Structure 1
Amino acid sequence: MFGFAGVLVVFAVALLVSAIKVLPEYQRGVVLTLGRYTGTKGPGLVLLVPVIQRMMRVDLRVTVMDVPPQDVISRDNVSVRVNAVVYFRVVEPDKSMLQVENFLQATSQLAQTRLRSVLGQHELDEILSQRDSINQTLQAILDEATDPWGIKVTNVEIKDVDLNETMVRAIARQAEAERERRAKVIHAEGELQAAEKLRDAAAMLSQQSQALSLRYLQTLSDMTSGGKSSTIVFPLPLELIKPLIDAVQREK
């Protein structure tokens, strides 16, 4: 008789232990009573009716999910391998348990398909230079798609864009050609500005004959100040010697 009573005591203790649950602050418990959803419990102490009620734990912390490398063909028909990382968290525990079988796997598969779809709408240059915009687009699309599952996608980041060697060399040649083009444009702009300044200076000197004469004399002085003996044929402006010619003619 004592042995039977002992078994009953052990069974009662086991039922009591199974009825008492403690949930930490970052977890919630989805309670099913006879298979029907009857509420979300936690955090803290939760009491369940043994056998009749069952509880499923849901973590509310942000989950970091790596998206495996995906082969993507861009809009300009360039093949690249792209991987990403998705940050999300559960905001409605009941939906995450009742609306989808495995929300982690479902979110991962959805992220892979959406990544290929979105990047396929962009050219390679856009994928490389507009990552922030593409990340925001992916985040909005995934957040909308996972909303029925009670999941909030907070951020999506493209990690790596891998190109084959042929494309790497082509991009390097393109970058070099772009640098040469910019250098030529800058040189041409400098020549244009110099020509404009020379035109303005010539117009200013042409208005004052004395200034033009002084400029000729200054140029001659600069050419002969080196100290080397040389013969210089320098055109002498008529305005400079015209006063001498007029004086000679008056004396005659």
Structure 2
Amino acid sequence: MAIINFIKDYERVARFRLGKFEGMMGPGIVIAIPIVHSIQKIDTRITVLDIPRQANITKDNASIEIDFLVYLRVVLEDAEKAILEVEDYTAAVVGLATTTLRAVIGDITLDDVLSQRDRINELIRTRLDGETERWGIKVTNVEIREIDPPRDIQEAMNR
């Protein structure tokens, strides 16, 4: 008895035969024989990762919290890397994004963080994309949603 899988245009399937990688398949019909084959689906559409709010310290030792999004997709030609090179690529990207944010913010003063959001987005995107490329992942965009400076600075800005 075989299991018939219908793979959509935006999906690919990694098929394993007795644990050995056979290749990427789809779109269309992919047949898997239970016990002999196992499959793992992967979506090649853009995915949005909501990175949890991060406490960061700027170059001038100001403590700020930043909330941001990472937009990514699995590169069609390298989809097998997202399965074979990293166990959970979304968790890996979240971890990498948090450390990359800390590194970028640590090199910038608070004034620059507050005034150069687009530049910071591009710096983070470029660094992330360089690292995730070996996993078959393309980071298409990074978007800082919110920057919360310390209370005393917020009060001074409101005056």
1:36 shift after superposition: 1.1
Counterpart in 2 of 1:124?
A: 110
Question: What letter matches 2:31 in structure 1?
Answer: L
Counterpart in 2 of 1:229?
A: none
Question: What letter matches 1:85 in structure 2?
Answer: L
Kindly indicate whether residue 116 of structure 2 is the aligned counterpart of residue 133 of structure 1.
no
Between the aligned partners of 1:31 and 1:97, the Cα distance in structure 2 is 11
Equivalent residue in structure 2 for 1:34, among 14, 18, 41: 18
Q: Give the number of equivalent residue pairs.
A: 157
Counterpart in 2 of 1:100?
A: 86
Uncovered stretches (5+) of structure 2, i.e. residues with no partner: none
Any idea what the Cα deviations from partners look like across 1:11-57, whole Å, max 9, x if unmatched? xxxx23x2x11111111000111211111000111123442221110
Equivalent residue in structure 2 for 1:67, among 46, 51, 59: 51
Mapping of residues 212-251 of structure 1, within 5 Å: none
Quick check: 2:62–2:150 contact (8 Å CA) kept in 1? Answer: no
RMSD over aligned Cα atoms: 1.3
Any idea what the Cα deviations from partners look like across 1:141-189, whole Å, max 9, x if unmatched? 000111111100000011111123211233456xxxxxxxxxxxxxxxx
TM score, norm. by length of structure 2: 0.93
Between the aligned partners of 2:19 and 2:151, the Cα distance in structure 1 is 57
Between the aligned partners of 2:65 and 2:82, the Cα distance in structure 1 is 31
Counterpart in 1 of 2:66?
A: 82
Between the aligned partners of 1:158 and 1:44, the Cα distance in structure 2 is 38
Any idea what the Cα deviations from partners look like across 1:88-111, whole Å, max 9, x if unmatched? 001122111111111111111111
Counterpart in 2 of 1:57?
A: 41
Mapping of residues 100-179 of structure 1, within 5 Å: 100-171=86-157
Structure showing greater relative contact order (alpha-carbon pairs closer than 8 Å, 6 or more residues apart): 2
TM score, norm. by length of structure 1: 0.60
Question: What letter matches 1:120 in structure 2?
Answer: G
Higher helix proportion: 1
Between the aligned partners of 1:110 and 1:145, the Cα distance in structure 2 is 8
Uncovered stretches (5+) of structure 1, i.e. residues with no partner: 1-14, 174-252
